[in-house]
Chain A
Amino acid sequence: MNGTLQGSAQDSLILDVSDLSVAYGGKTALRNVTLNVVKNEIFGIIGPSGSGKTSFLKAINRMDAMTPGMSTTGNIRFQGYDTAKWRNLYSLRRRIGVVFPLPTGLPLSIYENVAFTPKIAGIHRKLELDAIVEKSLRRAALWDEVKDRLSSLGSLLSGGQQQRLTIARALSQDPDLLMLDEFSIAVDPVTTMRIEEVLRELKNEITIILVTNLVQQAERLADRTSFFLNGEMVEVGRTVDIFNGKASDSRTTDYVEGRFG
């Protein structure tokens, strides 16, 4: 099994990455990655730190354009269109929601945190914003906890709540693709389970790339999992195969069974 998907129509692909390399100031962080992501799947990326997982995400939403020293080669097609040719990167980023490892509530109210993206996209009608805020908070399983204090500061929420607020914010723009980068690093286990539940439901509507350092999390959630190591993608496979000794590379099996990393 490899990065390309067999027997599926091109239009079911949301992301088609071929030969992607990422370097920072000439130092390669990721080498020749070829893989694709299918609509409505949860695509897991596992690997030890420094394996290039985050660089992969940054390349997808073209953060290289604003990260000094970062350069990419290769080809990334998002919704069938080469992202290198994308002229308005802001519009690309509005299609791709990102959740960072550490919860980042903007120093705004809870409401304004979630309304931020719709507002910058030009939605200003109160009713419409109210609806988006409620829907996004509900999807992130946060609505019931904060509905009575929407005007209080988002950065005052607990870590787990802030992470769900971040997810709500990422969902507020109705993205096609949601990328989560080790979202559970600063979140307690109970909240992690709740967020995982949220992701399973979201899968019906959007596509999710889940970068995680917890291999069991990938096992629980991902339809397919890829293993990154030292800036290379070792393999992509169905999660059931990867985690049941049917990985094609022995390093993958060693990693998921905890023999290194």
Chain B
Amino acid sequence: MSSKSSKSGEVLDKRDLSWYVDRLAQALMFVGGISAIIFIVGIFVFVFKEGFAFILDRFDIVEFFTSINWRPTSVAKETYGALALIVGTASITGMAMLIAIPFSLGAAIYIGEFATGKTRETLKVMVELLAAIPSVVWGFIGLTIMNGVIIELFNVPIGLNVLNAGVILGLMAAPIMTTIAEDALKAVPDKYREAAEAMGATKWQVIRKVVLPAAKNGLVSAVLLGIGRGFGETMAVLMASGHSINIPGSPFDSVRALTATIAAELGETAVGSNHYGALFTLGIFLFLITFVINLTADRVVRGIRRS
């Protein structure tokens, strides 16, 4: 018997430096992890608190969802109908997805399945760079370049409309959607591709019949996160949409978005006023929508892991 192993367990049980470092590291990581929850709950509580008084006193759910009259500063009678704002946001997001989905899926498939080596790396960097362009710059492009282009191209009186904001928003959402979609494609094991190729499947058959079905959930969540982005985007939409309350009959009508309304009006309201509360109610509504979209995306992604 060596003297080492004859030591009693009590002597061996000594907390050394690495034990304390481990504890400290765990504690720090815990704070970092939990802060995400603290912030989200904090924001939730704050937004609800600010909108709560208005919801109790003045809020009329029927008016909110069915009236297009958003007149918070009317002297005769204030009305808080958000229908036009909801439709405005939805129509811009819908238009944006029409543009972003084909672009981003096409880009993701090209980067993930076709491009190799330098092309692939360059494209990935470019796409990430595209995602980093500030939204106000996009809005600026909408306001100046796109506006003129739309007026010229379609011979319409005003170029700040659903089409303009949708195109801008679509281009803004596409990079992040591309990145997520490409990650989903990358998560498909290569052995599936090799097996299908060895059986004589063409490149396109491999993608269509093996890779895309296998990556389906990730692709759906990419689209959902794009939609979430669309609902939440403010500055670019404010600048490119025309910002006029309107139920659009065509892509060439100006609209106003929920987010843009909050951004444009909040600075001019008295804290605690009905108008102030109404804007926070819009915020709560937006919060709920994006919450549901993100939750759905998360559920869908979980679906992948299970299968």
* Known contacts A68-B116, A106-B210, A107-B307; is-contact A116 B196 (Cβ 8 Å): yes
The answer to whether A153 and B307 touch (CB under 8 A), given A93-B200, A94-B199, is yes
Q: Which residues of A contact B272 (CB under 8 A)?
A: none
In chain B, positions 123-167 with a C-beta closer than 8 Å to chain A are: none
CA of A134 to CA of B81 in the docked complex: distance in angstroms?
A: 62
Q: Which A residues touch B199, using CB under 8 A?
A: 93-94, 97-98, 116-117, 120, 169-170, 173
Q: Using an 8 Å CB-CB cutoff, how does the interface string of B188-206 with A read, 1 for contact, 0 for none? A: 0001101111111110010
> Is A81 in the interface zone, CB < 8 Å from B?
no
Which residues of A (81-135) have their CB < 8 Å from a CB of B?
Answer: 90-94, 97-98, 100, 102, 104, 106-108, 116-117, 119-121
Q: Which residues of B contact A94 (CB under 8 A)?
A: 199-200
User: Smallest CB-CB separation from A98: which chain B residue?
Assistant: B198
Q: Which applies to chain B's interface (DSSP): helix, strand, loop or mixed?
A: helix
> Which of A61, A97, A107 has the largest number of chain B CB atoms within 10 A?
A107
Number of A-B contacts (CB under 8 A): 61
Residues of A within 8 A of B198 (CB): 61, 63, 93, 98, 100
A190 at the interface (CB under 8 A from B): no
> A212 — which chain B residues lie within 8 A by C-beta?
none
* A106 close to B200 (CB less than 8 A): no
B residues within 8 A CB of A119? 209
Size of chain B's interface in residues, with CB distance under 8 A? 18
Check if A9 is an interface residue, CB within 8 A of chain B: no
- Give the Cβ gap from A157 to chain B, nearest Cβ, in Å: 14
Residue B214 lies at the interface, judged by CB distance under 8 Å to chain A: yes
Which residue of chain B has its CB nearest to the CB of A95? B200
Among B191, B192, B200, B213, the residue within 8 A (CB) of A120 is: B200
Contacts of A92 in B (CB 8 A): 200
Is there an interface contact between A100 and B195, defined as CB atoms closer than 8 Å? yes
Cβ B195 vs Cβ A104 within 8 A: yes
Query: Does A21 sit at the interface, judged by CB under 8 A?
Result: no
Query: What chain B residues lie within 8 Å of A91 (beta carbons)?
Result: 200
Using known A-B contacts A106-B210, A107-B214, A108-B213, determine if residue A90 contacts B201 with beta carbons closer than 8 Å.
yes
B residues 259-300 in Cβ contact with A at 8 Å: none
Neighbouring A residues of B196 by C-beta, 8 Å: 106, 116
Chain A neighbourhood of B214, CB < 8 A:
107
Partner of A100, one of B194, B209, B210, B307: B194
Q: How many residues of A contact B (CB 8 A)?
A: 27
Residue contact A106 to B202, C-beta cutoff 8 Å = no
A214: min CB distance to chain B, Å: 22
What's the minimum C-beta distance from A184 to chain B, rounded to whole angstroms?
A: 18
Residue in A102, A107, A169 whose CB lies within 8 Å of B213: A107
Docked CA distance A64–B78 (Å): 73
B195 — which chain A residues lie within 8 A by C-beta?
Answer: 100, 104, 106, 166, 169
How would residues 60 to 90 of chain A score, 1 for a CB under 8 Å from any chain B CB and 0 otherwise?
0101001010000000000000000000001
Which chain B residue lies CB-closest to A100? B195
**Across the interface, which residues of B come within 8 angstroms of A106, CB to CB?**
192, 195-196, 210
A107 pairs with B192, CB closer than 8 A: yes
A91 to B194, CA, bound (A): 16
CB pair B307–A102 under 8 Å, yes or no, is no
Cα distance A106–B194 when bound, in Å?
Answer: 10
**By the criterion CB–CB under 8 Å, are A173 and B191 in contact?**
no
Asked, given contacts A66-B197, A68-B116, A106-B210, whether A90 binds B191 with beta carbons under 8 Å apart, the answer is no
Query: Residue B200 contacts which of A100, A102, A104, A121 (CB distance < 8 angstroms)?
Result: A121
**Chain B 178-193: CB-based contact to A (< 8 A → 1; otherwise 0):** 0000000000000110
Contacts of A108 in B (CB 8 A): 210, 213
Q: B197 contacts which chain A residues (CB < 8 A)?
A: 63, 66, 93
**Distance A153 CA – B199 CA, assembled complex (angstroms):** 19
How near does chain B come to A145, taking the closest CB pair, in angstroms? 21
**Which residues from chain B contact A153 at a C-beta distance below 8 Å?**
307
In the bound complex, what is the Cα–Cα distance between A107 and B200 (angstroms)? Answer: 17
Interface residue ranges, B against A (CB under 8 Å): 116, 191-192, 194-202, 205, 209-210, 213-214, 307
Q: Which 3 A-B pairs have the closest CB atoms?
A: A94-B200, A93-B200, A98-B198
Which positions in A face B, CB cutoff 8 Å? 61, 63, 66, 68, 90-94, 97-98, 100, 102, 104, 106-108, 116-117, 119-121, 153, 166, 169-170, 173
26 examples of A-B residue contacts, CB within 8 angstroms: A61-B198, A66-B197, A68-B116, A90-B200, A91-B200, A93-B200, A94-B199, A98-B198, A100-B194, A100-B195, A100-B198, A102-B191, A104-B195, A106-B195, A106-B196, A106-B210, A107-B213, A108-B210, A116-B209, A117-B200, A120-B201, A120-B202, A120-B205, A121-B200, A166-B195, A169-B199
11 more contacts with CB within 8 A, not counting A98-B199, A107-B210, A119-B209, are: A90-B202, A93-B197, A93-B200, A100-B194, A104-B195, A106-B210, A108-B210, A116-B209, A120-B205, A120-B209, A169-B199
